[in-house]
């Protein structure tokens, strides 16, 4: 955990979409305090204590939090629901504004390349993928098979791949630079939070239906 007290109205960032539980308090361009713990499961148990620790490290009270920016996906169905539900509950308790952060733009923010494809493993041989040029999306996110995504990205001429789904695509796009990123950085989430508009409500971004298995299957 890191702390650095500076002026400005604080924003609380929450991210539970991928293989980490992350939170931060930011003021303007400064990250005042933050924490990030790798985990595939257990976000629900760890998130509330982690938020309390980070808010305390930032030297603010929950009543002082002006905005809550939460990642909404794509990612783990369970993880993103945990984050969104927590953000909504905290909003009811504090009256803070809400903002939604999408994971694929946050991953692309870190890649540092003119044309980058951000990808998240969607399981069952598929990926959630979106292409960005100079920081702007070239279209909406899509869920494609690995072969379909590789063919599409090859036609786009993307020069970099990032996100937890990127290693699945890299063998098919050998000319592309692989930027390993299992989850977005706190810095990228903070940058997106500064640009994100306030929202009346935030909801999980589901790009495919959840896996449902019948009993005995």
| pLDDT tens-digit readout, 88-122 | 999 999 999 999 999 999 999 988 777 899 999 99
- Give the model's pLDDT for residue 8: 73
Residue keyed to tokens 């998130």: 47
Percent of the chain whose predicted confidence (pLDDT) is above 90? 79
How far is Cα 9 from Cα 198, in angstroms, rounded to an integer?
14
Residues 101 and 114: beta-carbon distance below 8 Å: no
Domain with CATH 3.30.420.40 in the chain: 2-103+183-195
| pLDDT value of position 208 | 62
Please check the confidence at residue 3 and state whether its pLDDT lies above 80.
Answer: no
Indicate the class that CATH gives domain 2-103+183-195: alpha beta
User: At residue 165, does pLDDT exceed 80?
Assistant: yes
Indicate the fold that domain 104-179 takes in CATH. Nucleotidyltransferase; domain 5 (3.30.420)
In Å, what is the CA distance from 211 to each residue of 124, 130, 145, 170, 214?
10, 22, 16, 26, 10
pLDDT tops 50 at residue 179? yes
Distance of CA 65 to the CA centre of its chain: 20
Q: What's the confidence (pLDDT) of residue 155?
A: 87
* More confidently predicted of 155 and 89: 89
Contacts of 7 by beta carbon, 8 Å cutoff, 6+ apart: 27, 28
- Cβ atoms of 181 and 159 within 8 Å: the answer is no
Question: Given pLDDT bands bounded at 50, 70 and 90, which one contains residue 186?
Answer: very high
Give the pLDDT confidence score for residue 1 in this predicted structure: 58
Give ranges for CATH 3.30.420.200 in the chain: 104-179
On average, the pLDDT of the chain sits at 90
Question: How much is the pLDDT for 57?
Answer: 98
Q: Is the pLDDT of residue 27 over 60?
A: yes
pTM greater than 0.95 (yes/no) = no
- Residue 213 predicted with pLDDT over 50: no
């Amino acid at each position: 955990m890191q702390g650095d007290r500076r002026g400005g109205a604080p924003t609380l960032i929450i991210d539970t979409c991928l293989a980490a539980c992350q939170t931060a308090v930011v003021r303007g361009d400064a990250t005042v305090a933050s924490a990030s713990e790798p985990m595939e499961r257990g976000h629900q148990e760890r998130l509330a204590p982690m938020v309390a620790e980070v808010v305390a490290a930032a030297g603010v009270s929950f009543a002082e939090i002006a905005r809550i920016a939460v990642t909404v996906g794509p990612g783990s169905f369970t993880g993103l629901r945990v984050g969104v539900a927590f953000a909504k509950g905290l909003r009811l308790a504090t009256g803070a504004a809400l903002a939604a952060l999408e994971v694929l733009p946050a991953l692309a923010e870190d890649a540092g390349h003119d044309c980058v494809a951000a990808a998240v493993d969607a399981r069952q041989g598929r990926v959630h993928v979106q292409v960005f040029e100079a920081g702007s999306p070239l279209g909406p996110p899509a869920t494609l098979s690995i072969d379909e995504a590789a063919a599409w990205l090859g036609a786009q001429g993307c020069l970099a791949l990032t996100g937890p789904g990127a290693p699945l695509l890299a063998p098919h796009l050998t000319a592309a630079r692989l930027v390993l990123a299992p989850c977005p950085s706190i810095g990228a989430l903070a940058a997106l939070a500064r640009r994100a508009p306030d929202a009346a409500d935030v909801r999980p971004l589901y790009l495919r239906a959840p896996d449902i298995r019948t009993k005995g299957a």
